């Protein structure tokens, strides 16, 4: 078997409307299933990226306020998922301005040599990496660049 690409991500959320607003209004995902067209008794929202690459890339399923929060610190499971937001630091600065405008929790900023990244959390504490590929870095011909030491990012 060979995996061809990452298809979609499914997240459990405490409050569907709160999370849908975040992914739609802050991160710019396009809703394809919401209150207007979801099946009865299925508290979920589905989104695709503006590229329209596939039928859905993100599904949120509401589990309610009594569900256990994501534990802090080192644990087994998802650390973060990455979303490419452009191809330049200017686009990453624009993303940062949007995040700040919406009061999003920015938990880090890193220069990975091949990418420049901001780390944020969604309303349920899922960590998300927003990144741009650094122009001119030829990691395909020099794969050691992928393992370069992480440096602080200054935008």
Chunked in runs of 10, what are the mean pLDDT values of the chain (155 residues)? 92 97 96 86 92 89 96 92 96 98 98 98 98 95 95 95
Query: Do the beta carbons of residue 64 and residue 124 sit within 8 Å?
Result: no
Strand 80-86 and strand 127-133: pairing?
Answer: parallel
Report the pLDDT value the prediction gives residue 23, as an integer from 0 to 100: 97
Predicted pLDDT at 147: 94
Concatenating the DSSP letter of every residue in the chain gives --------EEEEES-HHHHHHIIIIIT-PEEEESTTTPPTT--EEEEE-TT--SS-SEEEEE--TTSPPPPPSS-SS--EEEEEEESSHHHHHHHHHHHHHTT--EEEEEE-SSEEEEEEE-TT--EEEEEEEPTT--TTT-GGGGGPPPEE---
Domains in the chain, ordered, with CATH?
Answer: 9-62 (3.10.180.10), 80-152 (3.10.180.10)
> Nearest Cα to 47, choosing from 29, 63, 27?
29
pTM of the predicted model, to two decimals? Answer: 0.93
What pLDDT was estimated at residue 33? 85
Residues 19, 13: Cα–Cα separation, whole Å: 7
CA atoms within 13 A on the CB side of 109: 12
Q: In the prediction, which pLDDT does 145 show?
A: 95
């Amino acid at each position: 078997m060979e995996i061809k690409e990452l298809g979609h991500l499914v997240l459990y959320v405490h409050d569907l409307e709160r999370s849908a607003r975040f992914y739609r209004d802050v991160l710019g995902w396009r809703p394809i299933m919401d209150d207007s067209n979801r099946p009865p008794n299925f508290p979920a929202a589905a989104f695709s990226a503006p590229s329209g690459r596939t039928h859905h890339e993100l599904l949120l399923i509401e589990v309610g306020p009594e569900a256990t929060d994501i534990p802090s610190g080192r644990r087994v499971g998802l650390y973060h998922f990455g979303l490419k937001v452009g191809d330049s630091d200017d686009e990453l600065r624009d993303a940062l301005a949007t995040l700040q405008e919406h009061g999003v929790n920015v938990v880090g900023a890193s220069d990975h040599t091949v990418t420049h990244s901001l780390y944020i959390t969604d309303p349920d504490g899922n960590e998300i990496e927003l990144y741009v590929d650094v122009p001119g870095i030829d990691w395909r011909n020099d794969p050691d660049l992928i393992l370069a030491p992480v440096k602080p990012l200054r935008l």
